[in-house]
Amino acid sequence: MLSGYESNDRKVTLEELQQRLQQKKRKRDNVSEEKKSTSSSADKVEKDVTEALRELAFSHVKLGNEEEHGKKKRKLWKFKALERAKKLEEAMKDPEKDEIILKKHSWKSATSRAAGMKVHDDPSLLKRSIYKKKKRHQKNAEKWKERVQTTHKMKADKQRKRSENIGEGPKLVILSEFHLLYYFRFYYANGYN
């Protein structure tokens, strides 16, 4: 049987092979050019999308300068917020400063609420949340302490049981040998051999 190269109708000349190679190269070049053109158009689309997104805001009210609200401020610790709320209440007790502070605070809190930030200005709520946090911490500490105690107890029980089993090992061997001897003596003494 003849292979494909040796048969008469499948003989390929050097010129035909070179032509095929040139065609493959041209196809490869065309495909790479198409990819480049599509990637450049995709880059343009991405740039347009980023520019459009700068103008859009989802669930966020733009108030004044965007740079003010651009970065989220770190959340205040509740203790600091409680101190500030107490100072605000004390300042409101003064009749001269009351109106100025009230206007300033109300505008500040309204703009921050509109921007989607939480405003911690109620001392009773802050005290309650601090109390809940302390209680939760204490409860978790108690649970953890119980968990540690139970693991120590289980380890001690396992160790005790292991040492008992190790100590009983030689006794069991001696007892089993004694029982075997007793059995054989009984067996042979009664004529069961």
Domain of 18, in residue numbers: 1-56
Measuring CA to CA, how many Å separate 69 from each of 51, 63, 64, 164? Answer: 19, 8, 9, 70
Sequence length of the chain is 193
The answer to whether residue 171 is domain-embedded is no
CA torsion, ordered 8, 14, 16, 22, to nearest 10 deg: 160
Whether residue 172 is contained in a domain is answered as: no
- 81 with 115, same domain? yes
Q: Give per-residue pLDDT as tens, 37-54.
A: 666 666 677 777 777 767
pLDDT of residue 1: 45
Q: What are phi and psi of 6, to 5 degrees?
A: -90, -15
pLDDT score at 22: 92
Cα 25-37-22 angle, rounded to 5 deg: 10
Token digits of residue 17: 């092979």
Burial class (CB in 10 A: 0-12, 13-18, 19+), 69: buried
Q: What is the pLDDT of residues 51-103, one digit of tens each?
A: 776 766 666 555 555 555 555 555 557 777 777 888 777 777 777 777 777 77
Provide the residue type at 65 as one letter: N
The structural domain count of the chain equals: 2
Is residue 165 situated within a structural domain?
no
Q: Is residue 134 part of a domain?
A: no
Give the sign of the dihedral formed by CA 170, CA 173, CA 177, CA 182: positive
Residues 1 and 47 in one domain: yes
Tokens, residue 193: 């051999």
Alpha carbon of 188 to those of 176, 177, 180: distances in Å?
Answer: 18, 16, 12
Is the residue at 170 inside a domain? no
Percentage of residues in the chain having pLDDT higher than 70: 76
Give the pLDDT confidence of 104-120 residue by residue, as tens digits: 777 888 888 888 888 77
* pLDDT for residue 72: 55
Task: List Cα–Cα distances, 167 to 87, 159, 171, in angstroms.
Answer: 71, 12, 8
% residues pLDDT > 90 (the chain) = 18
Q: Which amino acid is residue 34, in one-letter code?
A: E
